Amino acid sequence: MKTLLIAFFALSTFISIQDTETIYATFDGMENEVYYFSDEADTTHVFDAIADEAAKKFDLTNERFNGKTFKITYSTETIMDEMDDQIEVLTIENLEILSK
């Protein structure tokens, strides 16, 4: 039992907890595989990835979605980069279009 607890603790230190949040923002475009959105307060939101499920719903590589407003559900994961610095990776988990 003690070995099982040690293994669980060791494994849990390598797993990052993901938080999920929702925002409403307008798609500004994509550059270098990064997705840019802006909200009503002119805050730019930068997403590093998109989940397969969301990508199937909307192909954001198509410029016809530029200027469209979405409800965006995203997760935040903290990872270590090559220099052992913590960085946050934001991934779009779900998209719902609000304006056509």
Q: How many domains does the chain have?
A: 1
Say if 38 falls within a structural domain: yes
- 34 or 79: whose pLDDT is higher? 34
Say if 4 falls within a structural domain: no
- 92 or 87: whose pLDDT is higher? 92
**CATH code for the domain in which residue 69 is found:** 2.40.50.500
The answer to whether the CB of 84 falls within 8 A of the CB of 43 is no
Say if 55 falls within a structural domain: yes
CA angle 80–81–82, rounded 5-degree value:
130
Say if 78 falls within a structural domain: yes
pLDDT at position 72 over 80? yes
Say if 56 falls within a structural domain: yes
pLDDT digits (tens, 9 = 90+) for 1-33: 544 444 444 444 444 556 789 999 999 999 999
In angstroms, the CA 99 to CA 49 distance is 22
For residue 23, give its domain range: 18-97
pLDDT, mean over the chain: 85
Bin 67: left if φ > 0, else alpha if -120 < ψ < 50, else beta.
left
The answer to whether the CB of 42 falls within 8 A of the CB of 4 is no
Say if 8 falls within a structural domain: no
